[in-house]
């Protein structure tokens, strides 16, 4: 099992770890700061630096089939480290931070558009959500204004854990119909944006909404009779 360090602190850019296993599909470490692809957020990239100074490029991160191990996929042709080797794992932080900003902005978007979410994706300083918004006419400028107003509140983003039973007793917490919160481990991670949003989520977020930077609504597309895809784009750097 890989200890997911990113879950308690999404701001870790570097961490030491031990190679536990070398699987054909990736390197398994005892602990990692690399977020594995899931919940609409892509897997992290970065590098593993060995004691002799050699660098292994990580091109993607995914969960193993049991979702307990996390696999770091190396660039093609990389030499493989030996099990037991010590590595310094270093994130492609520019990329990850853009995703943290985009991911947190999508939480705010669910507060601006309080409709069931049927899909979504986190990109690099951009993202999209699909809403079952029915016949409601969505206005780009109005959505952007509301979104930027929430960003401007610089609200604190925090997390806490609740039991599966507590979640089952509060089904209203689940806004995303396509991505079921991971239950079965007995507890579920809740992300709260102070005074704005509360929902189960396993992704990586910024600490305060002000870090998201300026947002625009890049497009609204019809995905079905009652379904709309809303794309947002963020300024390349935080405000």
Q: Cβ closer to Zn ion: 27 or 34? A: 34
Q: Cβ closer to Zn ion: 72 or 103? A: 103
Distance CA 13, CA 47 (A): 11
In whole angstroms, how close is the CB of 204 to Zn ion at the nearest point?
8
In whole angstroms, how close is the CB of 40 to Zn ion at the nearest point?
9
Distance CA 13, CA 221 (A): 36
Residues in the chain: 239
Q: Cβ closer to Zn ion: 25 or 158? A: 158
In whole angstroms, how close is the CB of 128 to Zn ion at the nearest point?
14
Dihedral pair phi/psi, residue 190, rounded to 5°: -105, 135
Distance CA 61, CA 204 (A): 14
Give start and end residues of each alpha helix (H) in the chain.
Answer: 5-8, 93-112, 140-152, 164-169
In whole angstroms, how close is the CB of 136 to Zn ion at the nearest point?
24
The two structure tokens encoding residue 146: 């509301």
Which residues, 195 to 214, sit near Zn ion by CB under 5 A?
201, 203
| Residue 12 CB-half CA count within 13 A | 17
Q: Cβ closer to Zn ion: 87 or 109? A: 109
In whole angstroms, how close is the CB of 107 to Zn ion at the nearest point?
6
Distance CA 210, CA 239 (A): 7
- Is the Cβ–Cβ distance between 117 and 40 less than 8 Å? no
- Taken in order 177, 178, 181, 182, the sign of the CA dihedral is positive
The two structure tokens encoding residue 16: 């030491």
Is 127 an interacting residue with respect to Zn ion (CB under 5 A)? no
How many residues make contact with Zn ion (CB under 5 A)? 2
Closest residue to Zn ion: CB criterion? 201
Q: Cβ closer to Zn ion: 28 or 102? A: 102
Q: Cβ closer to Zn ion: 109 or 201? A: 201
The two structure tokens encoding residue 31: 């602990």
Of the candidate spans 61-69, 157-165, 194-202, 210-218, the one that interacts with Zn ion by CB under 5 A turns out to be 194-202
In whole angstroms, how close is the CB of 126 to Zn ion at the nearest point?
16
**Would you tell me which residues interact with Zn ion (CB under 5 A)?**
201, 203
């Amino acid at each position: 099992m890989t200890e997911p360090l990113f879950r308690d602190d999404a701001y870790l850019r570097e961490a030491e770890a031990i190679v536990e296993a070398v699987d054909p599909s990736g390197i398994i470490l005892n602990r990692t700061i690399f977020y594995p692809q899931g919940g609409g957020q892509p897997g992290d990239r970065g590098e593993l630096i060995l004691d002799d100074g050699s660098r292994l490029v990580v091109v993607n991160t995914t969960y193993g089939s049991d979702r307990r191990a996390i696999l770091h996929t190396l660039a093609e042709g990389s030499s493989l480290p030996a099990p037991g080797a010590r590595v310094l794992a270093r994130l492609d932080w520019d990329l990850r931070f853009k995703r943290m900003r985009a991911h947190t902005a999508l939480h705010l978007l669910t507060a601006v558009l309080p409709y069931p979410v049927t899909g979504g994706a986190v990109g690099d300083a951009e993202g999209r959500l699909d809403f079952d918004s029915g016949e409601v006419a969505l206005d780009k400028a109005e959505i952007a204004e509301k979104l930027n107003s929430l960003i401007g509140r610089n609200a604190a983003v925090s997390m806490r854990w609740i039991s599966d039973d507590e979640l089952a007793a509060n089904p209203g917490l689940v806004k995303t119909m396509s991505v079921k919160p991971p239950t079965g481990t007995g507890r579920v991670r809740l992300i709260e944006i102070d005074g704005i949003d509360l929902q189960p989520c396993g992704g990586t977020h910024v600490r305060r909404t002000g870090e998201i930077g300026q947002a625009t609504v890049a497009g609204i597309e019809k995905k079905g009779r009652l379904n709309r895809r809303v794309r947002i784009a963020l300024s390349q750097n935080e405000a």
